[in-house]
Structure 1
Amino acid sequence: MRIIRHFSKIAAVIARHPLKMRLDSPEFHALFTPELKKLSSLFASNGFELRMAGGAVRDLLMGVRPSDVDFATDATPTQMKEIFTHEQIRMLNKNGEEHGTITCRIDDKENFEITTLRIDVVCDGRRAAVKFTKDWEEDAFRRDLTINSLFLDLDGFVHDYTGGIEDIKNRRISFVGDPVIRLQEDFLRILRYFRFFGRFAPVGATHEPKNIEAIIECKDGLKNISGERLWMEFNKILIGRMASSVIKEMLLTCKLGPFLCLPENVGFDEFERVAKVNSPKGEDGPLAAAPSTLLSALFSKIEDVERFQSRCKCSNAEKWLCELIVQKREEAMKHKNDINYFKYAILDEIFERGEIGKHSASLHHTIIPHKL
């Protein structure tokens, strides 16, 4: 299924009175490096506004200092380039200019990714042609989830056009406007929804029926999403908070398994067991294991791993580790909680295949399963 939607302006949503609230927290003030202050002054002196956007604002409202901050502005990419060129500020990522993103490096110390306000005018479920705008509300309405559609100006005021502040307070995951329209703009948002639900929803929370109905209606669109993008989201779900209940909803209720090339007889009992022993905080925390460890629990035979990797493009090292765990699972059960068993099993396998150079670098960054 390939859906192409054309918009002369942003898709209709229920109009709200924008909510504006003050944020005055240590986490917010800690972001103001000399480089950010210089950037802020530069935009203001040229008559443009600069705001923090999306996930960084969400994290700050939850009392968490964001590890990465994206910025939005009413300046066009051309205007930004003129400013940075005039000030002899280096620009790094010019490939993002088509979608309005310019990355600059201030005083050779800190990078800032800044995106022009935009609306999506042509969508095919994978990518969008964009039109730049000066309207912050229009930009907010094109985003996926209300909790990701907030802006924070550098004076400390949060601007909420979609009800995101209330949803953060209630730990509720809601699409901006019509869920079907949001999903048709980019079908990967199906997996993003489940990732954010697992990350933020209260333990035991149920999904809003309209969200699940929209996902079921739009799931065929996942056929057109690249395997790399699918794995990028699914591996975060695997090791995320509430992984067992989230994956059950994905596979049993929404029937997403075939679109990820997962087997029909997924081992939910095995997955729950592995998730439980690798979850130091129970359901209310992330899992202390590599994605391959959790992924392997969904498979009963090597062929399952190969089929999955043919669709969801996990790395060769991740595939290899997953195959090893599936192959040695029965024997490993005799060595429960003995991490050395798998360390030696991995080394034996590498030497036996003569692939020490091929896998050693990749596995250096792979967390060996704590418990099986």
Structure 2
Amino acid sequence: MWRKLLSPVVVGRTALHWRKLFTMQLKTSDFQCLFTEGLTGLADIFQKNNFELRIAGGAVRDLLSGKRPEDVDFATTATPEEMKSMFQAAGIRMINNKGETHGTITARIHNENFEVTTLRVDVTTDGRHAEVEFTTNWQQDAERRDLTINSMFLGLDGTLYDYFKGYEDLKNHNVRFVGSAEQRIKEDYLRILRYFRFSSGTNDHESETLAAIKENSHGLAGIAGERIWVELKKLLIYELGLAQYIGLPPDGDFAELQRVWENSKHHSPKPMTVLAALFHSPEEVEKMDRRLKVSKEEKTLALFLVKYRYELHKDSEQPCSIKPFTDFIIDSKELDTQMKMCELLKYQGEERLLNELCRWSSPRFPVSGHDLRRMGVTSGKDIGATLQKLRDIWKKSHYQMDKEELLSYIES
């Protein structure tokens, strides 16, 4: 199966110190499509300066899985200072170099950004941050990575370099930490969430790995909320007592979360739409926000869903119509209410209503305060009350009445 996916391939094995290095040649169309004018220019600079440059991490995993990666990171034997020197000599602009202390330089070539990181080893770690030293040893860099499937490198000639059986694990759908699970977790507790993100869809967990996760789950309490939220948006977890450390309610409704996911998974729900299922009250949403520091849009969406998820159909005279939802949108003063309502219908699993609402365009109410003043309604209070009365009549007409018809309801 995999030989067909990667065809043509040539497989070989060489030794590197105490590990067995597995190599093969990758020549897929997705790999070839990476070679833009910008990447070709980047490769030429490193080759001319006698430094190795390889694709690293998740992009390698995606390419081996038959996917075209959205983001491509690179690793190199050149130090940050050496990279800056050769980029400057080539007239290449460098941007966003906040990661330089950890070995990352971002070069902009032919309107593309390329993030390149020096090979490194962790000298000290505290579960959140690491002090690193640079190295030219590819295996040492692979050894500090989280999972075997993320520890592979891909040369720009298509050669795969795999030190920890990552390719074999990828083929067999195994998710394993590189080396000791406990050691990898203690280096960065966020790896607990990453483990579950990559192992979702499989129940084949090694007992030693789960024990290490449970023993070290308290470490998530010290992780910055922003970092947790980045992972949480990619995977929603509620196992092994992690919730209390990452801003989720300890008694969150996991059954509801599973139900909402089944309802919405084919309609590209926003991460917060699914996450909202865990919350019982607005107070729990506020607590989550204080811990994770989500965006204003995400917070207001969660509050909206928690408040209205069971209400808009309640006591409706038209329970199978989008009318209650469109009326709500018409009355709302918020610009993003239609988006929120679509997410609500995803949450509820109302596929037909969702499709209708996605096609619906909000009509403009045809009467203004200026129209009323011309008819002699001058009090601000009376104008507001009259506009609301006419709006209600307009809604009952399914937004069909025009200005003249509506103004005819005003007593002369």
TM-score grouping bracket, smaller chain normalisation: 0.7 to 0.9
Task: Specify the alignment match of 1:155 in structure 2.
Answer: 157
What's the secondary structure of 1:236's corresponding residue?
coil
Map 1:222-301 → 2, pairs under 5 A: 222-238=220-236, 247=237, 250-251=238-239, 254-280=240-266, 288-301=268-281
2-side partners of 1:365 and 1:152: how far apart? Answer: 42
User: Which residue is 2:343 aligned to?
Assistant: 368
Map of 2:203 onto structure 1: 205
What is the alpha-carbon distance in structure 1 between the residues aligned to residue 187 and residue 123 of structure 2?
A: 10
Structure 1 unaligned segments of length 5 or more: list them. Answer: 1-13, 239-246, 281-286
Residues 71-114 of structure 1: CA distance to partner in whole angstroms, max 9, x if unpaired? 0000111111110111111111222110101111113x221110
2:229 alignment partner AA = W
The 8 Å contact of residues 234 and 271 in structure 2, kept in 1 or not, is answered as: yes
Deviations 1:148-205 (A, max 9, x none): 111000111000011100011011111001011111111111111111112xxxx453
Distance 1:84 1:337, change over 3 A: farther
TM superposition shift of 1:269: 2.4
1:338–1:371 CA contact under 8 A, matched in 2:
no
1:35-86 CA deviation, whole Å, 9 max, x = no partner? 2112112111111111000001100001111111100000111111110111
Name the CA distance, whole Å, in 2 between partners of 1:255 and 1:304. 17
Is the alpha carbon distance of 1:144 and 1:337 closer, same or farther for their aligned partners in structure 2, counting shifts above 3 Å?
farther
Q: List alignment gaps of at least 5 residues for structure 2.
A: 1-16, 349-412
Q: Is the 8 A contact 1:342 1:368 kept in 2?
A: no
Q: Compared with structure 1, are the counterparts of its residues 362 and 93 closer, same or farther at alpha carbon in structure 2 (3 Å cutoff)?
A: farther
Q: Name the % identity.
A: 47
Maintained 8 Å contact 1:167/1:173: yes
Given that 2:182 and 2:213 are in contact with CA atoms closer than 8 Å, whether structure 1 keeps it comes out as yes
Superposed, 1:1-372 pairs within 5 Å as 15-107=18-110, 109-198=111-200, 203-238=201-236, 247=237, 250-251=238-239, 254-280=240-266, 288-332=268-312, 334=314, 341=324, 345=328, 348=331, 351=333, 356=334, 360=335, 368-369=343-344, 370-372=346-348
After superposition, the Cα gap between the structure-2 partners of 1:362 and 1:345, relative to the gap in structure 1 and judged at 3 Å, is closer
CA contact (8 A) 1:290 1:367 kept: no
Deviation at 1:332, TM superposition (A): 3.7
Runs of 4+ aligned residues of structure 1 deviating over 3 Å after TM superposition are 332-349, 360-367
Cα 1:343/1:42, change in 2 over 3 Å: farther
**Cα distance in 2, alignment partners of residues 230 and 309 from structure 1:** 12
TM-score by length of 2: 0.74
Native 8 Å contact 1:343 1:368 kept in 2:
no
The residue that corresponds to 1:11 in the other structure is none
Q: Does structure 1 retain, via aligned residues, the 8 Å contact 2:301–2:340?
A: no
Q: Aligned pair in 2 of structure 1 residues 131, 197: CA closer, same or farther (>3 Å)?
A: same
Give a deviation string over 1:253-311, Cα, whole Å, max 9, x none: x111111232232212222221111133xxxxxx6211222122111111111122221
CA distance in 2, matches of 1:208, 1:343: 50
Contact 2:329/2:337 (8 A) holds in 1: no
Sort the Cα spacing of 1:338 and 1:216 in 2 relative to 1 into closer, same or farther, 3 A: farther
Could you tell me which amino acid in structure 1 is paired with residue 101 of structure 2? Answer: E
The Cα of 1:206 is off from its aligned counterpart by: 2.6
Q: Report the Cα distance in structure 2 between the residues aligned to 1:214 and 1:181, rounded to whole angstroms.
A: 9
Distance of 1:225 and 1:166 partners within structure 2:
32
Aligned length: 328
How far has the Cα of 1:117 moved from its partner?
0.3
Larger radius of gyration: 2
1:95 to 1:256, Cα distance in 2 relative to 1, 3 A: same
- Residue 342 of structure 1 and its aligned partner are, at CA, apart by 5.1
Is the contact between residue 22 and residue 158 of structure 1 (CA under 8 Å) also seen in structure 2?
A: yes
CA distance 1:84–1:259, shift in 2 (3 Å): same
The answer to whether the Cα contact below 8 Å between 1:317 and 1:363 also exists between their aligned partners in 2 is: no
SS in 2 for 1:134: coil
Report the Cα offset of residue 363 of structure 1: 8.7
